């Protein structure tokens, strides 16, 4: 368990009640990882939702024809990743790797699913916030793709 006050400081969780923050805190643990640690491999079942406390994390994918990994997005303090843990079939659409020694909060997705079923408003708010993260990532990828193809 982590402190609800720690969770509360991140904009992603704005608008949630203290009761919701306490529930999140009870499903969470703080994790420190070394540089080059893979949180998630593409295709894995994702069991945690993460928020970065410190460090730099990248979202990566492999180009099959070249068998090489490319960075799709770079994330830092306050950014969320592992959203696939909340969206069936709970499979990673990309890998996630620490570029520096990093600390994150890992939220147990199975416990979150149970809490969301018990409190649908809480589940709705979290899914709405998660959808906004997905929207922003898709938009960033679209812009990056357009810039790459124009160059």
Sorted by sequence, the CB contacts under 8 Å of residue 24 that are 6+ apart come out as 4, 7, 13, 16, 107, 112
At 3-48, the pLDDT tens digits run 999 999 999 999 999 999 999 999 999 999 999 999 999 999 999 9
At 88-138, the pLDDT tens digits run 999 999 999 999 999 999 999 999 999 999 999 999 999 999 999 999 988
User: Whole-prediction pTM value?
Assistant: 0.92
- For the domain made up of 29-145, the CATH class stated in words is mainly beta
| pLDDT of amino acid 52 | 98
**N- to C-terminal Cα separation, the chain:** 48
In the chain, where the domains are located: 29-145
At 51-68, the pLDDT tens digits run 999 999 999 988 877 678
């Amino acid at each position: 368990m982590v402190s609800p006050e720690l969770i509360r400081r991140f904009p992603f969780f704005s608008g949630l009640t203290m009761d919701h923050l306490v529930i999140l805190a009870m499903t969470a643990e703080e994790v420190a990882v070394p540089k080059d640690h893979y949180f998630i491999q593409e295709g894995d079942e994702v069991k945690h939702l993460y928020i970065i406390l410190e460090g730099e994390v990248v979202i990566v994918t492999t180009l099959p024809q070249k068998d090489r990994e490319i960075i799709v997005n770079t994330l830092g303090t306050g950014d969320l990743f592992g959203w696939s843990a909340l969206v069936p079939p709970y499979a990673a659409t990309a890998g996630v790797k620490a570029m520096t020694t990093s600390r994150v909060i890992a939220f147990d997705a199975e416990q979150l699913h149970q809490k969301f079923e018990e409190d649908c408003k809480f589940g709705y708010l979290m899914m709405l916030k998660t959808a906004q993260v997905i929207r922003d990532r898709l938009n960033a990828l679209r812009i990056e793709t357009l810039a790459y193809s124009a160059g």
